[in-house]
Amino acid sequence: MLKSILIASALIAASSGASFAATPWINATQNAQGHRIFHGVQSGRLTYHETKSLLKGQAHVQRLETQAKADGVVTPLERARIRTAQSVQSVRIFWKKHN
């Protein structure tokens, strides 16, 4: 089970790196959040269900980015929506690691 979570997080990190040129700050944040989740698993601060929930959130942010890039242009409104989703995800990571 834990291996599948780690594999999923690696896939999310890899897929976000594939489109680096258009959204480098979004990708950097995604990678940093993935590392935070990974370290939470390693340290034992995140349970299986918490990790699963956080990875779903990461996948949601990745889907937002993919949809924004579908037409070849990421508008300021789309960037703001993605950044808001990342901010929410960041707070969730913090609270799940510190509960």
- Expressed as residue numbers, the domain containing 79 is 2-97
Q: Look at the chain and report how many structural domains it folds into.
A: 1
* Average pLDDT of the chain to the nearest whole number: 87
What is the reported pLDDT for 19? 43
- pLDDT for res 10: 62
Looking at the predicted structure, is the pLDDT value of residue 40 above 90? yes
63-71, Cβ contacts within 8 angstroms, sequence gap of 24 or more = 65/16, 65/19, 65/23, 65/26, 65/30, 68/23, 69/19, 69/22, 69/23
In this prediction, residue 23 carries a pLDDT of 87
**At residue 54, does pLDDT exceed 90?**
yes
Neighbours of 48 (CB within 10 A): 11
Average pLDDT over residues 62-91: 95
Q: Which amino acid is at 97?
A: K
What pLDDT shows up at residue 2?
A: 63
pLDDT at residue 14 greater than cutoff 70 = no
Asked whether residue 16 carries a pLDDT value surpassing 80, the answer given is no
